[in-house]
Amino acid sequence: MAQFGSERHGQELAPQFTLPARQHRSVQNLIWVGENILLSFHVRTVVVWTFGVADDLESATVTDNGYTARTLETGTKGMSMCGAFDSSRDRFVVGDTRGNLSCFDFRGEIDSEGVLQPVSRALCVHKKEHVNDVGWSASDKIFSVRNDGRMVESIVDQDGHLRTTLSVPVGNFSGLAHI
């Protein structure tokens, strides 16, 4: 279960509320996207919590009708650590602790349990090093960084598959955390 305190973006919220996530192991990271989307990163999954309206978060009761949860299963053995939206194309890319990237298309089919599978994976892009951050460029390029200071450029090809196009060390840097 993920529990949240009483402040978000400088606003007062309900003292505490709990989102049901028992089937997901160990929360690795939490990121707010805009005012109504919360990403929780877990082992092999990311859960996208979308709240209907901002008022739902400010009330003392968050009901099952107040949000939807979409589970993204990466299909890799790593812990999901970071991710980035490509809002113009309804896509999301996830980086994990084993150097893998998984790409999801939100226009894809979701199964009866609310799970979305990736349209493509690029395995060991970062040679089993943690992917610390990922980001989309204006085109179909994805940039990712890892602990040892290496930056990787990947592309989503015409068939929707991830392909690594460039991997370069960034001189004098190690432990790159953000793009």
Q: What proportion of the chain, given as a percentage, has pLDDT over 70?
A: 75
**Is residue 138 in a domain?**
yes
Q: Is 56 helix (H, G, I), strand (E, B) or coil?
A: helix
For residue 76, give its domain range. 2-169
Number of structural domains the chain divides into: 1
> Structure pTM?
0.76
Which pLDDT belongs to residue 175?
Answer: 56
Digit-coded pLDDT (tens) for 95-145 = 999 999 999 988 888 888 778 999 999 888 888 788 889 999 877 799 998
CATH of residue 145's domain is 2.130.10.10
User: Is residue 162 scored above 80 in pLDDT?
Assistant: yes
Q: What is the mean pLDDT of residues 3-25?
A: 56
**Is residue 92 in a domain?**
yes
- Structure tokens belonging to residue 75: 């299909």
**Is residue 47 in a domain?**
yes
The C-alpha atoms of residue 49 and residue 67 are separated, in whole angstroms, by 7
